[in-house]
Amino acid sequence: NKGPQTYWILSNPEFLAEGTAMKDLAAPDRVLIGGPTSPDGLAAANVLVDIYANWVPRDRILTTNLWSSELSKLVANAMLAQRVSSVNSISQLCEKTGADVAEVSRAIGRDSRIGPKFLGASVGFGGSCFQKDILNLVYICESEGLNEVAQYWQQVVDMNEHQK
């Protein structure tokens, strides 16, 4: 024992997709590191930045405060799930009107502001991450008194249940 030690808690959420986890680890879109904004906290985050910089370009390593890091993970999954629920709601409208949801998805996916990913109609999103992260986001919103925001994100889960 060399006396008292100082420890810092950092947030380093993973952004791994099912089926591509190894590729996502080797060549991530981004690495997110959140930590305290004090000089010591920033220094601790930079130690982790230096480790990732051995294989991840520095411009893909983002540093934020703890809450921004944690919320970024929840919001990324919530927005992907929102796309799934959105196209599934449109698939029901397509069935009623005679439109082909695959053609609608292809057409809107060509819009550079939207892009083609997560626009396939399906039985909804599965797995554990999307729903867990959205419900966590709902809980945080409710805890902060943001009831309308919580209801908005709850509706994404509700739409997914309706699609099943």
Burial of 104 (0-12, 13-18, 19+ CB in 10 A): middle
Report in angstroms the alpha-carbon separations of 40 from 1, 7, 34, 35, 158.
Answer: 22, 10, 13, 10, 43
**Do the beta carbons of residue 106 and residue 88 sit within 8 Å?**
no
Burial of 45 (0-12, 13-18, 19+ CB in 10 A): buried
Q: Is 129 a catalytic residue?
A: yes
- Which one of 31, 32, 71, 129 is the catalytic residue? 129
pTM of the model: 0.81
Q: Which helix (H) or strand (E) holds 34?
A: strand 31-34
Predicted confidence pLDDT, tens digits, the chain (164 residues): 688 888 899 999 988 887 888 999 999 999 999 999 999 999 999 999 999 999 999 999 999 999 999 999 999 999 989 998 888 888 988 999 999 999 999 999 999 888 887 777 777 787 778 889 999 999 999 999 999 999 999 999 998 888 87
